[in-house]
Structure formats: structure tokens, C-alpha cells
Structure 1
Amino acid sequence: MAGSPGSNEVTFQLSNCRRSVPRTRALAHAVLGEWGVAQDVLDVAELLLSELVTNALRAHAPSNQQVGVRIARSTADGLLRLEVSDEAPGRPEVRTPSDDETGGRGLLLVEALAHRWGVEEREGGTGKTVWAELKAPDIIAEPAEREVAAAMVRPDQLVKVWGEWRAVVSARSEQRDGDDPAVLLSLDEGPALRVQATEPLTVRQREEDAGNV
């Protein structure tokens, strides 16, 4: 999992299996909780992501291909954006299933709960990205020092490990079969640190970066 500068977005890859849906909910809960998203918006976001990931997993994509997820925030606009990408052909369409059908209602939920949503072609013309936006006026800016899920740590930060501050050189997600998502942090000193994506870590900005904010 990776976060962009300013920690205004988080991206991660999911294996093409059913276990990816509850993992998505857990990671989204950690990220949105850190961003100060109100509980009612957080609940809706988790539901929408679950539906979008479920649809992507059901799409006719190669079984060895992963599903991409992006969660982004705009504190200026008070918006939360959820994106799920897959490599399957075609575009999803909202439909009304019959009473005896057990599925097919995912996009109906998205249309009903999202502020707006849509579908875009992926770069290169392979597959698509389905996105949904939610109004989230309670999204907060980041304090100088805070506790975040390991998935939120990024290379322009300092992380407190072994009782000392270490500069993060790189952060990348790891997904092993049967394991929960993890993050591998390369530090300026000492060994690399591998932790579960939802494990809390204390971080702060480097002093030279803080002066430019």
C-alpha cells in the first residue's frame, strides 16, 4: 500500500479472491478513521468499496490479475473519492434484478448512496475504473505528529521505531497468499520493518518539509 505526498490518497492492490472484500473494509476503516471521517460517512464508504470490489472480482478478468483500490480525500472540497480498477473488458451498468435474483444490486446501492459516481477507461485501454464520491465535511488536516495505520506511512516522513525516529526511505505493500496485507518500510538506519497494514505507527514530518508547509 502506498500514500501520496500530503497523505491525501492511499492505493493498494488486492488478490483476485473473496478474502479481498473483508480486507478492503478493514483497510478502509483504518484510513478513513485516521482522516477523521464521520462514522456515518465511514460506514457508507466501507459499503460502497465492498460493492465495487465485489463487482470487480466478479468481472471476467484473468484470475491472476489483481484489483486496484484508491482512496482519496479533498479537505478543501470536503469530498471522499473511492476508486476500484480491474482489467476486465466492458462497462458495468445499473440494472434492476428480479425478485428471485440474489445479486446484481451493487450499482443500485452505489447510485443511491454516492454523491456522484462514474466509470473511466484505464490508461492503455485495458479494463476500467469505477469511482464514487461522498460528501465528507468532517475530513481533517493532519497534525504534525500522529498515530496512523502502517498503510499510511510514506517516504517523506519520520517514523518512531525502537524508541527512536527513523526516516522512511521507501514504503511498499506486500500481499502473501493467506496473509493479511502488510507494509515493508525501508529506513535510513537499521533493518527494514515489515508490519501489518493496519498496525498503528507514530509518524511526523521531517523538519525541512514542515518548514515548507
Structure 2
Amino acid sequence: MTSSNDIAFRLPRSRRSVPRARALLHAVLGDWGVGQETLDNAELVLSELVTNALRVPTPGDRQVGVRISRSVADGLLRIEVSDAGGGCPEVREPGEDETGGRGLLLVAALAHRWGYETRPAGIGKTVFAELKAPDIVAAPEVREVAAVMVRAGQEVRVWGEWRTVLRVRSEQYAADGPAVVLEFDSGPALRVHAAEPLAVRVEDPCG
């Protein structure tokens, strides 16, 4: 889905935003190689933070902001949820007969570190939680190379998504010179001019 180290999106003030946020998180963390336990914890944390943000009274119809980032060097996953409301988030310990109020208690239990910051621009605050993610993987480097340089086993971005190259063979265009045919793990083959630039993922040798 993405090779960057962070992704940000905005959500409308709707109950449907909670499952939508979880689905987006699941897609991002799957691309980052995060293990199931970390994924489950991250989904719980994000659900609680988004739910709390949706409950906060805000001026107008302000949306909720979400940012997910990773630090491979520190083995940390950071989740941020921003809203335009006031107040300070505090952990509560509800009584046995109370059915709610345990959201931040759960966040505090699952997170390596959590807290909140006032937003430097605009009104409101950002609540963040950092989770230990020792299995998180580094973002592969993306380079543009001529099609003739592509090799089997590499990932190439075609038709808006990444495909793994299974086989490369050369052909001759009728008038335009040499061509390259790339066969992928899924979908049709791609025939392009040998000099056509293609985006290729290159794994970090130091990662």
C-alpha cells in the first residue's frame, strides 16, 4: 500500500469512522510487516482514541485527524488522533457498575507511552500512543530504472499497485527498437520499451 514511514488521513464525525480507521490501520500495518499481536493492540488503541475524539464536542463539523507512523530504529509504532475539542484526556477508573469510561485505561495498559499535545496550529489537541513493534520492517527504497534493468524477484509499480516480477524477456518492437516483457505473480504481462522508466522497490541493505 505505501512505502513511506507515516500515513495521515481525516475522518468525518460518524460512528462508521471507527471501523474505517481500523481497516486503514490494518492495511498499513500489513504492508509494514507488523505481527498479529502488535496489530491487534494497535487496532484496540486506535479504536479507543477515535471513539473518544468523536465524543468530544467541537465547533462546527470538524473532522478527526489520524496519523500512523513507524520508527524502525526504535521498534516503535506511533498512533496520533487529533480533534478540535477542549479538555484534557485523563485515565479514569470507573466503578464495577459502570459500563464505560475504560478507554484510556486500556490505552495506557497497551501502550509503551501515551499522552497528549496541544495542536500547534488551530484549536484542539492530539492524543498519541506509542506501541512497541520489534517486528516492524523498514521502508524499501523506491528507484526509477529503465525497464531493461528490471530483474525477476523485484517489485515494480504498474497499474497503480506493486507487482512481483516472475520473468523478464526481451522482444523487438517493429520500429521503436528493443522491448521488454515483464511477467508478474498476478495479472497480465507488461510490454514496454526497454528504456521506459519503471518504479522498482529496492530493499535497504542496512535494514
- Tell whether the structures are fold-level matches, with TM greater than 0.5: yes
Alignment partners' CA distance in 2, 1:15 and 1:72: 21
Equivalent residue number for residue 100 of structure 1? 97
Aligned positions of 1:25-174 closer than 5 A: 25-62=22-59, 64-124=61-121, 126-143=123-140, 159-161=157-159
| Paired residue secondary structure (1:92) | coil
Equivalent residue number for residue 180 of structure 1? none
Conserved in 2, the CA contact under 8 Å of 1:144 and 1:205? no
Q: Quick check: 80-89 or 119-128, which moved more? A: 119-128
Conserved in 2, the CA contact under 8 Å of 1:82 and 1:131? yes
Report the residue type matching 1:122 in the other structure.
R
**1:21 paired to 2:25:** no
For residues 46-87 of structure 1, the C-alpha deviation after alignment (integer angstroms, 9 at most, x for no partner) is: 000000000000111135110000000011111100000000
Q: Can you give the 5+ residue segments of structure 2 that lack an aligned partner in the other structure?
A: 143-155, 164-196
Q: Can you give the 5+ residue segments of structure 1 that lack an aligned partner in the other structure?
A: 146-157, 166-203
Conserved in 1, the CA contact under 8 Å of 2:157 and 2:199? no
Report the residue type matching 2:17 in the other structure.
S
- Percent of aligned pairs sharing the same letter: 62
For residues 2-35 of structure 1, the C-alpha deviation after alignment (integer angstroms, 9 at most, x for no partner) is: 97xx600000000001000000111100000110
Q: 1:56 to 1:16 in 2, by over 3 A?
A: same
* Residue 125 of structure 1, CA deviation: 5.4
| Paired residue secondary structure (1:72) | strand
Stretches (4+) displaced over 6 A: none
Conserved in 2, the CA contact under 8 Å of 1:16 and 1:63? no
* Residue 124 of structure 1, CA deviation: 3.0
* Residue 205 of structure 1, CA deviation: 7.8
* Residue 143 of structure 1, CA deviation: 4.0
Report the residue type matching 2:63 in the other structure.
Q
Alignment partners' CA distance in 2, 1:86 and 1:25: 17
Conserved in 1, the CA contact under 8 Å of 2:111 and 2:131? yes
Conserved in 1, the CA contact under 8 Å of 2:91 and 2:104? yes
Report the residue type matching 1:160 in the other structure.
V
Q: Which is greater in Rg? A: 2
Conserved in 2, the CA contact under 8 Å of 1:53 and 1:67? yes
Alignment partners' CA distance in 1, 2:100 and 2:42: 20
Q: Quick check: 93-102 or 53-62, which moved more? A: 93-102
| Paired residue secondary structure (1:7) | coil
Equivalent residue number for residue 184 of structure 1? none
* Residue 161 of structure 1, CA deviation: 1.0
What is the TM-score when the length of structure 1 is the normalising length? 0.66
